[in-house]
Amino acid sequence: MEQKKNIGFQFSGFRITAFSFKAPEEPLGENESFDFETSVGVSHESSALIVKVGIVVQRSLDQVRCATMVAESLFSTEGLEVDSHTGAVVDVPPDFYATVISLAISTTRGALLVKGAGSFLERVPLPIVDPKAYVPAIMEANKPSVGG
């Protein structure tokens, strides 16, 4: 029988590390649409986890970049085993990553709306993103290397 690993975590902070936007030169149409690119990265520190979310907003009509934002969600953690040689976290369950990524994306979505208040950005919320889509790459990037 597989033993479950107990990991404790708490949302402990949020910061926007980069933000820029430029309103489209042409007036927005009533049903204007935008494309979003999102990226997610996770880094570990002593009893902390940082989830970095990057967003690029492009106008669908002409693919002109309208906004970019990079934000970091900080989580205090307990129960993550860190490899003493590589600093990599050992045996993190995929559901744990999916949960913290989901929280980080949701928080970033709200921050983008707040930062864009009073501009066209308040009408274009970041669409729902499946956090599980990022988990395999995150797990691979944070896997301990063989041979230390």
Are 39 and 70 in contact by the 8 Å Cβ rule? The answer is no
* Domain 11-20+32-141: assigned CATH number: 3.10.420.10
Are 20 and 115 in contact by the 8 Å Cβ rule? The answer is no
Q: Domain ranges for the chain, please list them.
A: 11-20+32-141
pLDDT, residue 2, reads 55
pLDDT at 29 over 90: no
pLDDT, residue 72, reads 98
pLDDT, residue 42, reads 92
Give the pLDDT mean for 33-48: 89
Per-residue pLDDT of 103-122, as tens digits, reads: 999 999 999 999 989 888 88
Helix (DSSP H) and strand (DSSP E) numbers for the chain: 2, 6
Q: How far is CA 63 from CA 25, 30, 70, 131, 145, in A?
A: 13, 18, 20, 25, 39
| Residue written as token pair 């983008």 | 112
Per-residue pLDDT of 59-81, as tens digits, reads: 888 888 999 999 999 999 988 87
pTM of the model: 0.86
User: Which residue type does 46 have?
Assistant: S
pLDDT, residue 25, reads 74
pLDDT at 54 over 80: yes
